[in-house]
Structure 1
């Protein structure tokens, strides 16, 4: 179970409509939403991995400490939600090093995992995984083996693998199911809100039972917040993807905690106790 800790105005699809310089002046809702998520997870006795933006952690250190105090893994989502594919090697190294040090200072634990904003590591920038290892990370969850208009590496393995060899970084992709030779998304995001819950549950059970692999699920704090502000001028496609069925999300996350057994990424893939 994984949560990408960012606020509604930081999603990549809104970048053309919300100036990055305006972020400090916008209403932040992430802290209240994280507290709702922590309550859902506690009720289901679930421990999760929180891929957290440094920008958020810097402003809400007490929230970060509540995540750690709840027994959850604190991991990195970079500092300012910049796509890895939009950064040079030096810029990316600075971003992931800065965010790791900041999260470790606030949370008090070593940060081992990273997830690129918008799953922006793929064929054209696999060097980013070497940079992550050099920065001290042990695993990444940044490659989505699907075809998508904003991201994706459809030819990548569907389950945990070493893209740059056994001495490199472990990559743990978001879950997909394979039907008629094509990988279909089955691990969260807008797909989970759009599709019937029974279908999403079936796909994850297929991965558990037929593939005999753990499913990797992700969502965002803003997805449990149907009352969030709605920026003006957002295109119809982005608006639909962002807002579809937000009012159903909290109940669906609760159902997931009852229908499956979940744990932190570091425990499942690194054997951390």
Structure 2
């Protein structure tokens, strides 16, 4: 690891399978999920080994649907010292649910993950960062259901999600005691530019992310928040036919580059679980 200073950054994984991404929601019927080839367990186990090789700890935002089918995987995450957090149960966007539907989904996922992992589930990440300016009511639901933090806002402009006016760093929405921890961005020219992972990590040069994370650590003195998905290290995953060109590009671009880049990222920076960085910081 190069000298990146004393700051540990928050590493996170959204545990879902390739066919569950929101971009495929209009193309793959939920009723077909169990009939499709599942690759999430093997891919997540590869990530566990990758993290072990680098001595990294992370937060895994696990989809309840996945935990129902692969409970031993959830237990392996916990047994290896990682945080098990919630990605909801059915990977439904917050802005496509009523408050009552959202609460039921949150309750179901939290109870399942706690029973399976033996850990208290304190963190939540919405499908596709779908807490936006018209769905901030979700923060109250998460707090009432016992979550301590959310990582559900991406403070950028994007056609599928984003709340660019939101704070770039951890904050308490509406003055409550729930913390929102956005994925990382860098500010340039009056705009927030993404540098927290996801598809951008596959699309843009690695040097850009190293520059952005260093800037957050060194110039702003803050921990960065980075995320990716198990399917992003799987270039052999089944290809979906009939999807729009933009969707196909976003999902499949540079999948073969993700794992080598992750190895560089793990070497270049210090990484830790989200709860240990943000909740312990709040308690200090």
* TM-score bucket (shorter structure): over 0.9
2:31 equivalent among 18, 21, 34: 21
Cα deviations by residue, 1:91-126 (Å, 9 ceiling, x for unpaired): 000000110000000000100000000000011010
Structure 1 gap segments, 5+ residues each:
none
Pair 1:212-2:228 in alignment: no
Structure 2 gap segments, 5+ residues each:
1-10
Residue of structure 1 in register with 2:266 after alignment? 257
Q: CA deviation at 1:216?
A: 0.3
Residue of structure 2 in register with 1:42 after alignment? 52
1:237 equivalent among 238, 246, 252: 246
Q: CA deviation at 1:168?
A: 3.1
Q: CA deviation at 1:164?
A: 1.7
Q: How does 1:1-273 map to 2 (within 5 A)?
A: 1-165=11-175, 167-271=176-280
| TM-score scaled by length of structure 1 | 0.98
- d(CA) in 2 for partners of 1:136, 1:97: 9
Contact 1:130 1:168 in 2 (8 A): no
With CA pairs under 8 Å and 6+ residues apart, which has the higher RCO, 1 or 2?
2
SS in 1 for 2:271: coil
Alignment length, in residue pairs? Answer: 272
Instruction: Give structure 1 regions of 4+ aligned residues with deviation exceeding 4 angstroms.
Output: none
- d(CA) in 2 for partners of 1:27, 1:170: 37
